Amino acid sequence: MKHAPSIPVPPPAYRQQAANLALTGWICQGSVVSRTLRRQVAGVWCEKGPYYYWTCKVGGKTVCRALSQEQYVQIKAAIEANRRLMSAIAKIQRETLDTILAGVPGVPKRQRL
């Protein structure tokens, strides 16, 4: 029975990146926007707002919620944390794939005639 070769132990930098994933705090998908609207009131144009909104795809549909300023600030921070988290995960996934492809023997290439 042939023993499968194992990949090397992840380096300390890789393990540190993985450990940092647990330190992100609140995370949220979607995007937030702060809008000021121009409206005509009694024949005079004036600025109204700002109005705060969060939007996200849920089950294939776009969901939109009006927010208070405090909710806007908190959700904006959670969305930024989510983007950093997704970026870190993508980096770890690339490093994992590169290490496995380089360190574990693969399928031999075909020889061209």
Residuewise pLDDT in 10s, the chain (113 residues): 555 567 778 888 888 888 888 777 899 999 999 999 999 889 999 999 999 999 999 999 999 999 999 999 999 999 999 999 999 899 999 988 988 888 888 888 888 77
Residues in contact with 40: Cβ distance below 8 Å, sequence separation at least 6, in sequence order? 46
Amino acid identity for residue 41 in this structure: V
Residues 45, 39 contacting (CB under 8 angstroms):
yes
79-105: pLDDT as tens digits: 999 999 999 899 999 988 988 888 888
The two three-digit tokens of residue 2, written as one number: 């042939």
Angle between helices 69-103 and 12-20 (to 10 degrees): 150
pLDDT at site 101: 87
